Amino acid sequence: MELRHLRYFATVADEKHITRAALRLGMHQPPLSKQIRQLEDEVGARLFRRTPWGVELTDVGNSFFDDAQAILQDVDRALTRAKRVARGETGRIIVGMTSSATFYPLVQQVIRRYREIAPDVSLELREMASAEQIEALVADELDVGFVRTAVPKDRGITVNPLIEEPMLAALPEGHHLGLPEKGPLPLEALANEAFVLYRRSTGAGLYDSIIAACNAAGFAPRTEQEAPWVGATLSLVAAGLGVTIVPSTFHRLQLEGVVYRPLMAQPNLTARISLTFRGARLSAASDAFIKLVRRHAKGQDDLSERTSKGRR
C-alpha cells in the first residue's frame, strides 16, 4: 500500500463517484478503478458498493476512511512543517553580539525586521565578547555573531564586514581639550591624559586598535581604569576618571558629563562590526537572517518574496 492509494480512496469517498474522482485527480477512470480494486484486495474486503448515483462506503470503508483521513492529514501537516523549516519560517536561531553592537541602528533594525518576517522562529540573543562568539561558532553553540575582533582564517568562519566608522575622543565635561570649535583633535594631544579603557578580554579588536594608534602617535596610553565593556567606560569618563576613545556611534548616547571630539585621521583607528557564521552548517532560519542583514547593510529594506509568499 502506498500513500497515493489512500489519496485515491479518500477522493472517491469524498466525490462518491469514480468518474468525478478521476477528473479531480487528473487521471482516467479505468486506472483509478484498478487502483481501488488493488487496495480492496490488500484490505481483504470491499470498501465501496455501487449505487444508482455512483458509489458509497461500506462499513469497512467507513472505518478505513477515518484512519486514512487521519494519516493524510498527518502527512500534510508534516509536509507543511518541513516546507516552512526549509524556507526559514520556523526553527531556532542563536545570535551573538558584543555589548556595543546593540547601539547600532543597523543591528537594531535587523532584529526588529526579522521578528516581523519570521515570528515563528525562536530568536535568542546572547551578549558575548567577540572572542567568545568565535569559540561558540566553532563549537556550534552559536549560529550567527556580530563581532569586532579579526577572525583567524583557520577557524572555518565566514566574515562579512558590515560597518566601519571613525573613533571619537570622549572627555569629561569641562576638560580643556573638550572644546568642539577647535576641530578634530590630534591623537597625540591625549599623550599625558589618564585613559579609561575596556578590558582587552572583552573588546580585543577596539582595544588593540587604540593601543596601536597611540603607539603610532608616539606614546603609550596611561591606563588608570578598566571597564567591562565600551559603554561602561563612558560612565567612568563622566565621573572624571580619565578620557577614552569610542566608536562614533556612541555620540548618540549624549551621556551627561561627557563631551566628544572627533580625532584627526589615524591609520587603522576605526571601529568595525562584522557578521560571522559557519557557512557549511547554516540552517534555513540562519540563512534567512544573514540575507536580511546583508540587504540592510546595502540599504535595501525589502521583504523576502519567498518568505512572504510562504506565510500567506
Q: pLDDT, tens digit, for every residue of 150-176?
A: 787 778 888 999 988 889 999 999 999
Domain with CATH 1.10.10.10 in the chain: 3-86
State whether the Cα torsion 59-63-64-68 is positive or negative.
Answer: positive
Residue 129 has φ and ψ, to the nearest 5°, of -65, 155
Per the structure block, which three cell numbers stand in for 191?
599623550
- Judge whether 68 and 61 are in contact, CB under 8 Å: no
Distances (CA, A) of 203 to 119, 162, 210: 32, 18, 11
- Judge whether 206 and 273 are in contact, CB under 8 Å: no
For residue 87, what pLDDT is reported?
A: 66
Whether pTM exceeds 0.75 = no
Query: What's the DSSP call for residue 108?
Result: H
pLDDT bracket for residue 261 (50, 70, 90): very high
Q: At a CB cut-off of 8 Å and minimum separation 6, what does 226 contact?
A: 196, 197, 198, 199
Q: At a CB cut-off of 8 Å and minimum separation 6, what does 272 contact?
A: 148, 161, 163, 164, 205
Q: Which residue has the cell 581604569?
A: 225
**Burial profile 23-54: b = 16 or more Cβ within 10 angstroms, e = fewer:** eebeeeeeebbebbeebbeebeeebbeeeeee
Long-range contacts, stretch 203-207, CB < 8 angstroms, 24+ apart: 203/98, 203/100, 203/129, 203/130, 203/148, 203/229, 203/230, 204/129, 204/130, 204/131, 204/148, 204/149, 205/130, 205/147, 205/148, 205/149, 205/150, 205/272, 206/148, 206/230, 206/247, 206/271
Per the structure block, which three cell numbers stand in for 71?
494519516
Q: pLDDT, tens digit, for every residue of 169-216?
A: 999 999 999 887 778 899 999 999 999 998 877 667 788 889 999 999
- Judge whether 291 and 304 are in contact, CB under 8 Å: yes
Per the structure block, which three cell numbers stand in for 88?
526559514
Q: pLDDT, tens digit, for every residue of 6-57?
A: 898 899 988 899 899 899 989 998 999 998 998 888 889 899 999 989 999 9
Q: What is the mean pLDDT of residues 120-137?
A: 90
Residue 312 scores a pLDDT above 50: no
Residue 304 scores a pLDDT above 70: no
What three-state secondary structure class fits 254?
Answer: coil
From first CA to last CA, the distance across the chain in angstroms is 34
**Overall fold of domain 3-86:** Arc Repressor Mutant, subunit A (1.10.10)
Domain with CATH 3.40.190.10 in the chain: 91-161+272-311, 164-271
Per the structure block, which three cell numbers stand in for 209?
586598535
CATH 3.40.190.10 fits 91-161+272-311, yes or no: yes
Half-sphere exposure of 201 (CA within 13 A, CB side): 3
C-alpha R_g of the chain: 32
Q: At a CB cut-off of 8 Å and minimum separation 6, what does 19 contact?
A: 29
- Round the average pLDDT of the chain to a whole number and report it: 85
Query: What's the DSSP call for residue 298?
Result: T
**Overall fold of domain 164-271:** D-Maltodextrin-Binding Protein; domain 2 (3.40.190)
Per the structure block, which three cell numbers stand in for 42?
490488500
